[in-house]
Amino acid sequence: MWRAPLDGATKKREHSLSASVSPKSPSIVWFRRDLRLADNPALQAALHWGAAVIPVFILDEAREMRAPGGAARWWLEQSLSALSADLAARGSRLVLRRGEARQVLGELARETGAGAVFWNRLYDPGVVERDKAVKAALRSAGLMAESFKSYLLVEPWELRTKTGGIYSVFTPFWRAARPLAAVAAGSVEAQAGVRAPSTLPAPATFPRSDILSDWRLHPKIATWTSGFQDWRPGEAGALKRLDAFSQTALGAYKDDRDHPNRPGTSRLSPHLHWGEISPATVWRAAERAHAAGDGVDTFLSELGWREFNHHLLFHRPDLPTSNFRSQFDAFPWRSAPDDLERWRRGMTGYPLVDAGMRELWSTGFMHNRVRMVAASFLIKHLLIDWRHGEAWFWDTLLDASPASNVLNWQWVAGSGADAAPFFRIFNPVAQGERFDPDGRYITRWVPEISRLGSAFVHAPQAAPAAALAAAGVRLGETYPRPMVDHDAARQRALAAFRSLRSDP
């Protein structure tokens, strides 16, 4: 990862522009999914430039591959508010503009007399092409325009197989990528990370800014986000979350991460998605906690999975709508809108699936183990196209990422790279009994069956009539009967899989 001072190529470009750009010209820092002040290479470059800094965020949804979903828009609003406050505390301010980034940046440069624009790279297909055009336009106008590595530890073009292809299996990818990731993050001994600046040089006058509330990022269903309040978007919240996880849960992460009734996961994914914390900062914190146990290696591999997903999407920009394995193009999906709606609402009759779907709607989050079970149920029990489930997660997950959301759904479906085989069909009852044995997670989100006790809470349909009556459960009335029988659904799914022309 780049650290101040500037690299040689940037210095040469700065020198070549010195005749046309005043050294007193301010610089623009174009914030995107890097909504933080610490460990921010673009911001460090602006400070090295040595003049006033103008922080800018541009809402350019039309040029992105996908506009953020409803939950993510809520997070973005909170995060921008937090960043604005952090900048104000340092004598600066965040300028908000809406529109096409190339045009907006050109206008801002003319308004402010800026001589440089700095930003950190993203890797979504539409964004990559947009950023190339922006950089070319700014440079042709005589400005310095530089981008930096920050969102990933290993950029997609830094890694190729021995034959020059892309990695499509995680284990060899991570074997090759991990040493590069460690170097990019910097060793614990040699580096404590780049601190947030205590002050920022401000221009005499800041350019006009939109009002954040006018963007109407908040979802139209006002009551929907009431359950999101436990989250703390922003850089301070990200650092606090990382510190708590490192001290209390990282050591046992390898085992506890699979149990939804335990606080065993980091819950850093929305903070990482919006760049409120860098993967390098997270990596260094994990390394510092290495004595905590073998959960560290497992956790670092999860950072690697995030890198792997971005690697795949960069090289295969069609994956949000296309199967990585083309054999699945012929899969006989069912069109079943009523079944899809029951799954969305958490009314499938399988308590672990229903608990996950209700947790998602209530909090904007779902435990990772339960995500796999809920996704498998939609795809394999109901034979509904993975793209319908991915779209629902995109709209309702606070951590919805263009790469991770798509590739994880394809992983469950068996249609993706290094995917779980299609014939691995999770049994929701067995998964609940194994990972939520006393039913605490289920009864939190499906309270109508809470009095059944651990003996029947995973499968109310198996409970004797007397037990149902004592618990006040009336199947089909207070809680639905299972939509499908697990064994019958499994056989139907396997038959559909066998109908493909060739074995993927």
* Residues carrying an active site annotation: 302, 305, 333, 368, 386, 409
CB of 6 within 8 A of CB of 48? yes
Which residue matches tokens 């930096």? 148
Over its C-alpha atoms, the chain yields an Rg (Å, rounded) of 24
CB of 393 within 8 A of CB of 343? no
Which residue matches tokens 């460990």? 39
| Nearest-5° Cα angle at 90, 37 to 31 | 35
Q: Are strands 53-59 and 95-98 parallel, antiparallel or unpaired?
A: parallel
* Terminal-to-terminal C-alpha distance of the chain: 38
Burial class of residue 356, CB neighbours in 10 A (0-12, 13-18, 19+): buried
The C-alpha atoms of residue 68 and residue 318 are separated, in whole angstroms, by 18
Q: Where are the alpha helices (DSSP H) in 50-88?
A: 70-88
Q: Helix crossing, 368-376 with 402-413: angle to 10°?
A: 50
Instruction: For 278-296, give the DSSP string.
Output: -HHHHHHHHHHTGGG-THH
The C-alpha atoms of residue 315 and residue 482 are separated, in whole angstroms, by 41
Which residue matches tokens 């673009």? 42
Q: Please tell me whether residue 187 adopts helix, strand or coil conformation.
A: coil
How many C-beta neighbours within 10 Å does residue 203 have? 16
In sequence order, the 6+-apart residues with CB closer than 8 A to the CB of 129 are: none
The C-alpha atoms of residue 234 and residue 374 are separated, in whole angstroms, by 29
Tokens of 364: 């904007």
CB of 47 within 8 A of CB of 288? no
CB of 306 within 8 A of CB of 279? yes
Task: Report the sign of the C-alpha dihedral through residues 101, 38, 156, 306, in that order.
Answer: negative
The C-alpha atoms of residue 260 and residue 444 are separated, in whole angstroms, by 11
Nearest to 436 by CA among 497, 334, 359: 359
- For residue 24, give Cα distances in angstroms to 44, 102, 138, 232: 17, 23, 18, 38
Nearest to 38 by CA among 286, 290, 234, 306: 234
The C-alpha atoms of residue 304 and residue 9 are separated, in whole angstroms, by 29
